[in-house]
């Protein structure tokens, strides 16, 4: 059996690795240069910044077992930050017992590890699927075709899934219903460490949702690099605000939230995620049109967390293999 997986985020990589383990030949396609999708890191002369997934937790037993294996492989490490909560009352220490994990030395170490020796067609944006006699052809934006593949799994964010699944209207309509929310992520490198005792904080006032000292994560550079994430509501209201203005506004919000004067800035960048997270959790697991040999998965089919995306990819593989 030959399968094409479109999307090398954790959902697509999870689907592909489960199929690969079952002896299926899988080809993976992604429009980016590498794997990981929203688990991405920005590399700069001042060191790296995790501008997508910040960390992940593990609740489902199957995911917990996978996490244990990934730790043994050295792809991920437990991260134990000094956690705070910031609201109108100020800063409160908010440590808990929740195990949290990060890819090491960067988030994508996990997707790279899972990819192993499976073939990846990177920098290849798939524009359409074409029916052929013996399966599906993938057509990229340069009109190059790949395949035929007997089965196709689309593992892209919901809005990007819709045009790829025109041949399966039930799946395309479901993807259309899945609303995804935006988010801004600002990378800010300071010339000196901040005069605070915290590594990360859940923010519950103003435009910020989360602030994190990237250098507190294992394997990262020691530079005073911080990542600031906006709430989805603030991002919706500032979708077209120029990136440099967003960056400055979120840095100002950081100074206000921490109640300190910030050191000079060496590096500043804002990244807009149009499809940062699904607006709601959902119980689809994965979507399937087995008569057409088409499947869809991603965080929007389960929950807007790395675990949800991995479980969704696993489910797509299991349905395809007839295990569900
Ligand atoms: P993606 O990672 O989006 O993968 C989809 C892939 O498809 C991408 O690589 C993309 O390039 C590719 N693609 C799209 N269209 C095409 C096409 N036409 N052709 C080829 N390739 C295509 N989760 C947590 O658990 N903890 C967190 O702390 C956390 N923080 C987050 C912070 C931010 C800023 C964001 C944006 C997300 C965060 N998440 C977090 C959510 C988590 O990152 C996602 O749930 C998860 O990574 C989604 O994986 P996915 O494979 O479903 O999608
Ligand atoms: P988790 O269990 O650590 O956090 C879940 C939520 O519970 C947090 O967002 C926070 O509101 C609250 N919380 C947890 N621990 C807390 C503590 N010690 N003190 C105060 N509040 C606490 O992680 P989970 O469920 O795995 O979620 C992952 C994270 O990913 C969440 O923070 C979520 O908001 C974030 N996320 C961010 C996205 C973005 O675009 N910025 C997209 C998707 C997820």
Number of structural domains the chain divides into: 2
pLDDT tens for each residue of 117-167: 999 999 999 999 999 999 999 999 999 999 999 999 999 999 999 999 999
pLDDT tens for each residue of 49-103: 999 999 999 999 999 999 999 999 999 999 999 999 999 999 999 999 999 999 9
Cβ-proximal residues to 169 (8 Å cutoff; 6+ apart), any chain: none
Tokens 């000094």 map to which residue? 82
Residue closest by Cα to atom 1 of ligand 2: 57
Asked if residue 276 has its Cβ within 6 Å of ligand 2, the reply is yes
What band does 1 get if pLDDT is binned at 50, 70 and 90?
Answer: confident
Note whether residue 130 is domain-resident: yes
Q: Rounded to whole angstroms, what are the CA distances from 183 to 67, 210, 320? A: 27, 11, 33
Candidate from 42, 52, 128 with most ligand 1 atoms within 8 A of CB, to mutate: 52
Residue of 249, 205, 167, 2 whose CA lies nearest to 84: 205
Note whether residue 121 is domain-resident: yes
Q: Rounded to whole angstroms, what are the CA distances from 163 to 167, 176, 198, 230? A: 9, 10, 44, 29
Note whether residue 7 is domain-resident: yes
If asked whether residues 209 and 93 sit together in one domain, one would say yes
User: Could you tell me if residue 316 is left (phi over 0), alpha (psi between -120 and 50 degrees) or otherwise beta?
Assistant: alpha
Could you give the percent of the chain with pLDDT greater than 90? Answer: 98
Chain centroid to Cα 262, Å, comes to: 29
**The pLDDT value given to residue 7:** 98
If asked whether residues 144 and 253 sit together in one domain, one would say no
Q: Which residue ranges have their beta carbon within 6 Å of ligand 1?
A: 6-12, 29-32, 37-39, 52-56, 125-126, 155-157, 160, 183, 185, 229, 273, 276-277, 298-299, 304-306, 309
Residue of 3, 23, 215, 36 whose CA lies nearest to 113: 36
**The pLDDT value given to residue 214:** 97
**At residue 13, does pLDDT exceed 70?**
yes
Q: Which domain covers residue 83, as residue numbers?
A: 72-102+180-278
**At residue 223, does pLDDT exceed 80?**
yes
Q: What is the CATH number of the domain that holds 212?
A: 3.90.660.10
pLDDT tens for each residue of 55-67: 999 999 999 999 9
**Section 179-194 average pLDDT:** 97
DSSP 258-272: HTSPPPPEEEEEEEE
**The pLDDT value given to residue 89:** 92
Asked if residue 46 has its Cβ within 6 Å of ligand 2, the reply is no
CA of 320 to the centre of ligand 2 (A): 32
Residue of 251, 253, 275 whose CA lies nearest to 264: 251
**The pLDDT value given to residue 324:** 66
Asked if residue 111 has its Cβ within 6 Å of ligand 2, the reply is no
Strands in 180-249 per DSSP E: 180-190, 200-203, 208-213, 224-230
CA of 245 to the centre of ligand 1 (A): 25
What pTM value is reported for the model? 0.97
If asked whether residues 85 and 157 sit together in one domain, one would say no
If asked whether residues 228 and 292 sit together in one domain, one would say no
């Amino acid at each position: 059996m030959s399968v094409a997986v479109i999307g090398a985020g954790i959902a697509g990589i999870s689907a592909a690795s489960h199929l690969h383990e079952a002896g299926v030949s899988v080809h993976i396609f992604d429009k980016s240069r590498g794997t990981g999708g929203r688990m991405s890191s920005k590399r700069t002369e001042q060191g790296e910044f995790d501008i997508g997934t910040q960390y992940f937790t593990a609740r489902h037993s199957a995911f917990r077992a996978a996490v244990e294996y990934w730790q043994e492989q050295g792809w991920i490490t437990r991260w134990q930050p000094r956690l705070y909560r910031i609201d109108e009352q100020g800063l409160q220490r908010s440590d808990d017992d929740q195990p949290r994990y990060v890819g090491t030395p960067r988030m994508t170490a996990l997707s790279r590890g899972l990819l192993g020796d499976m073939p990846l067609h990177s920098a290849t944006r798939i524009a359409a699927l074409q029916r052929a006699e013996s399966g599906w052809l993938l057509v990229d934006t340069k009109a190059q075709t790949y395949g035929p593949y007997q089965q196709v799994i689309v593992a892209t964010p919901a809005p990007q899934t819709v045009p790829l699944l025109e041949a399966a209207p039930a799946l395309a309509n479901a993807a259309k219903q899945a609303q995804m929310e935006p988010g801004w992520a600002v990378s800010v490198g300071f010339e000196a460490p901040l005069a605070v005792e915290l590594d990360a904080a859940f923010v519950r006032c103003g435009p910020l949702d989360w602030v994190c000292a990237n250098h507190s994560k294992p394997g990262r550079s020691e530079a005073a690099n911080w990542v600031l994430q906006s709430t989805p509501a603030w991002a919706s209201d500032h979708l077209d605000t120029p990136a440099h203005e967003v960056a400055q506004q979120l840095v100002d919000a950081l100074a206000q939230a921490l109640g300190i004067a910030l050191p000079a800035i060496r590096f500043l960048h804002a990244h807009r995620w149009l499809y940062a997270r699904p607006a709601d959790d959902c119980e689809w697991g994965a979507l399937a049109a087995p008569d057409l040999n088409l499947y869809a998965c991603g965080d929007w089919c389960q929950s807007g967390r790395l675990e949800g995306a991995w479980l969704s990819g696993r489910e797509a593989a299991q349905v395809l293999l007839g295990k569900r």
